[in-house]
Amino acid sequence: MNSALLLVDVQQAFDDPKWGQRNHHDAEKNIALLLGEWRKKKAPVIHIQHHSTRRHSLFYHEHPGFSFKNEAQPINGEEIFRKQVNSAFIGTGLTSYLRKQHIAALTIAGFTTPHCVSTTARMSANLGFQTTVVSDATVAFPLQWGEARYTAEQVHEASLLTLHEEFATITLTKSLIKGREESWH
């Protein structure tokens, strides 16, 4: 089965302190490991870049936050799709690209678990792609609703729980790489 690595919003904007204390401080390291594995096998890598049209946004193209993080810099031959909403599939041409390339499975990592990662994973599954989310290569930030406060880890776990088994397989970087190495031999 042709499988692609889909990196969602691995951008410098998420280094801004306004987001609060994140979980998975090794996420970028794990993303780099995934990238290394896909590149070594010459498997498809797709980068999704959030592109806000609001000038004050950290994701506006003239802001440094728009840039990809160093650990996830695209290289020649890797696709880049820019999105303006939570889903990587809306307004980007991603679905057509995947179908033309006969890609049937997506492994998703990036920022943030409850927003663009989960929205993209749900749509991926709804469109019929076999979907995997790499838990320790995704990041969440704390959230608040009224008086209720949720840590980044609580937000992350709840988000993955809503995806698990219905929309995606949830795995860890090392387990995924080990499984892929075994299946590629």
Domain ranges of the chain: 3-184
Q: Could you tell me the pTM of the whole model?
A: 0.94
Q: How far apart are CA 98 and CA 161, in angstroms?
A: 26
Contact (CB, 8 A) for 60 and 66: yes
Q: Residue 58: its pLDDT value, please?
A: 87
The pLDDT, as a whole number, for residue 179 is 79
Select from 94, 85, 144, 93 the least CA-distant residue to 116. Answer: 85
In this prediction, residue 63 carries a pLDDT of 86
* 143-145 and 148-150 beta bridge pairing: antiparallel
Return the SS3 of 46. Answer: strand
Q: For position 125, what pLDDT does the model report?
A: 98
Q: Please give the pLDDT value at position 34.
A: 98
| Per-residue model confidence (pLDDT) at position 181 | 54
pLDDT (0 to 100) of residue 185? 33
Contacts of 28 (CB under 8 A, 6+ apart): 10, 69, 71, 72
Specify the CATH number for 3-184; select among 3.40.50.850, 3.30.420.40, 1.20.140.10, 3.40.190.10: 3.40.50.850
Q: What is the pLDDT of residue 178?
A: 86
Per-residue pLDDT of the chain (185 residues; tens, 9 = 90+): 699 999 999 999 999 899 999 998 999 999 999 999 999 999 999 999 999 999 999 898 998 889 999 999 999 999 999 999 999 999 999 999 999 999 999 999 999 999 999 999 999 999 999 999 999 999 999 999 999 999 999 999 999 999 998 999 999 999 999 876 544 43
Q: What angle (nearest 5°) sits at the alpha carbon of residue 14, between those of residues 61 and 92?
A: 50
Residue 109 CA to residue 9 CA, distance in Å, equals: 9
Q: What is the DSSP letter of 19?
A: G
Residues near 112 by beta carbon (within 8 Å), at least 6 away in sequence: 9, 14, 138, 139, 140, 141
Distance CA 113, CA 41 (A): 26
Give the integer Cα–Cα distance in Å for 62 and 55: 8
Q: Is 165 exposed, middle or buried (0-12, 13-18, 19+ CB in 10 A)?
A: exposed
Q: How far apart are CA 151 and CA 12, in angstroms?
A: 21
